[in-house]
Structure 1
Amino acid sequence: MELRQLRYFLVLAEELHFSRAAQRLSISQPPLSVAIRQLEEELGAQLFERTSKEVRLTAAGKHLRVQAQDIMEQAQRVRQDMRAIADGVQGRIRLGFVGSAIYRGLPEALESFRTRHPLVRIDMLELNSAEQIASLQQERLDLGLLHATRPAPGLQSHTLVSEPFMACLPAGHALAGQRTLQVRQLAGERMVLFSRQVSPDYHQQIWQICQSEGFTPDLHHEVRHWLSVLSMVSLGQGVSLVPSCLQRVGFPGLAFVPIQGRHPQSQMQAMWHPGHVQPLVESLLAHLRDSVGRLGQQP
């Protein structure tokens, strides 16, 4: 059974006249008669009663008319959906993100994207950088927002945000009131750092910043989330170097002090699998390129 046969059947069921139905379909009458006869043979049922004076639907024909209308409407919806997906205006995106993305303009960017693309569903999953990379490589995510300084094997990336690190200190710390400080002033302080297993690039960056200032961090706590870093520091368990966006968290008991000198920046990358890019993901990526960094820089 073909959609063409059902379309012919529905027109004939409306007209109940072969010549008029053929004219509406822009075909001659013989192909219409052949198509209806083939449909009846495939279904094993007579659909029309034909006499020299009239054409009438049989009981089977009346039943098929209802079913055929549903099928044709569903086929039209499928065509529209496929066209919308191909055009990048409808579908589902599996988006991974690190917690700091919340303070870099991600919620606002996604809200404006949803306004422009109301038929798009974005399933968000908070994962650390290592988990996102594994999920992207296994094609369990369509797009990841993570901390990295270079693309992971088999993946492509684009830098969405690049911002300086800042010293994060307990509010009562002796250096908390300074306008700026040198990283070497933190030598000998207990450090709270992001876990190497969770975000190896971030861990290495902070380690290198400290070593470039002449000391090795006195690592006391490794944690899995930036909010855990802020919590530990606010409780007086150490100091840290954190992305400047974390000032916007509004966590009590903390002081953020800019650091002097030229140091590696904190970067958030958009990362994806090049063999698994669909127009919808490209639309979201273009929107994030335009909006995340700009929104994230607002006070």
Structure 2
Amino acid sequence: MNIRDLKLYLHLCETCHFGITANAMHVSPSTLSRQIQRLEEHFGHPLFIRDNRQVQITQVGEKVKQFAQQVINQHQQLRQELDQSNQQLMGELTLFCSVTAAYSHLPDILDHFRINYPLVEIKLSTGDAADAVEKIKSNEADLAIAGKPKQLPSGIEFLKFGEIEMVLLIPKLNSSFNDKLHQKKPDWHNIPFILPEHGPSRHRIDLWFKQQKIINPKIYATVAGHEAIVSMVALGCGVALLPKVVIENSPERIRERTTQWPTNLMEPFDIGICVQKRRLSEKIIAAFWAISNLNLSHIPKGKR
């Protein structure tokens, strides 16, 4: 649950119409529906009564509405306080993200932060996205862009940016396993896979193997970092299930050598920024967190 979720909820409370709110808040109706369902799961009660003709807010929904408005008001007050002291904010902030996230999600947030807090020095390091949460736990980074793990460690706060779609990437040119791949029913047991070592992507890949009843997949390599996996697929070493955003931000020459293969849809996973909860009281971290939250509405649809 974050400020963006609460703003979507408040807008829906006013319109009582999923289509109108989705259009006004620049999200798809399905995304809006999922966000509301997550709020309902969080509070443990239905917030709306829905049928084919109307949407009505419940009594619990009214209480949550009051809560959401209070949180947003407090958030705006914090923003004003931060704005008043922005020129005095000095120090160092360490960030960690994957190379892909440095292209896709970080620039807009970092640009806004630097405009508001020009005296803060940013130290950025990149690496395997699957290591992002661990970097935060070990204090190797103040904040990190990460895929949300199946179980978020206690003491870690996660601000969702959007959802990451997984796709199957195969070499476009002929490969040693070309005949097995292009059968009427691909021989997945004998097609080499290139896998990430761990993280949310690996979790969904393991689920996909179970769905396809692939008990002992043929593993060409296990690699740290999605960007390297794309290159290995382009070279014809194997196939890979990867976040679509990684492929979209790969060099054009690499993309030209690969193609996406139709496969069973996998559940996307959340991407966002994470931090130790106890450190949100630190001024620089709180300022970056507030900028990140406010910047959600400016992230292009394709990245949400």
TM-score normalised by the chain length of structure 2: 0.58
Say whether residues 1:297 and 2:302 are aligned partners. Answer: yes
CA distance in 2, matches of 1:206, 1:261: 11
Say whether residues 1:281 and 2:285 are aligned partners. Answer: yes
Mapped contact 1:151–1:271 kept (Cα < 8 A): no
Summarize deviations over 1:189-236 as a string: whole Å, max 9, x none. 21011113xx3x321211112321332432221111222101110110
Report the Cα offset of residue 167 of structure 1. 1.4
Bigger Cα Rg: 1
Match of 1:194 in 2: 196
Question: What pairs up with 1:179-218 in 2 under 5 angstroms?
Answer: 185=186, 187-188=188-189, 189-196=191-198, 199=199, 201-216=200-215, 217-218=217-218
* Structure 1 pair 146–251 and aligned structure 2 pair: CA distance change class (3 A): farther
Q: Which moved more, 1:217-226 or 1:132-141?
A: 132-141
Q: CA RMSD in A?
A: 3.1
Q: What SS does the corresponding residue of 1:297 show, helix, strand or coil? A: helix
Question: What pairs up with 1:104-143 in 2 under 5 angstroms?
Answer: 104-129=104-129, 131-143=131-143
* Structure 1 pair 269–283 and aligned structure 2 pair: CA distance change class (3 A): same
Mapped contact 2:148–2:271 kept (Cα < 8 A): yes
Q: Which amino acid aligns with 1:271?
A: C
* Structure 1 pair 186–151 and aligned structure 2 pair: CA distance change class (3 A): farther
Structure 2: gaps spanning 5 or more residues: 1-83, 176-181
Report the Cα offset of residue 290 of structure 1. 4.5
Report the Cα offset of residue 113 of structure 1. 2.4
* Structure 1 pair 130–165 and aligned structure 2 pair: CA distance change class (3 A): closer
CA distance in 1, matches of 2:272, 2:293: 10
Say whether residues 1:163 and 2:167 are aligned partners. Answer: no
CA distance in 2, matches of 1:103, 1:243: 14
* Structure 1 pair 236–119 and aligned structure 2 pair: CA distance change class (3 A): same
Structure 1: gaps spanning 5 or more residues: 1-82, 175-180
Task: Give aligned-pair identity as a percent.
Answer: 16
Size of the alignment, in residue pairs?
205
Q: Which amino acid aligns with 1:294?
A: I
Match of 1:51 in 2: none
TM-score normalised by the chain length of structure 1: 0.59
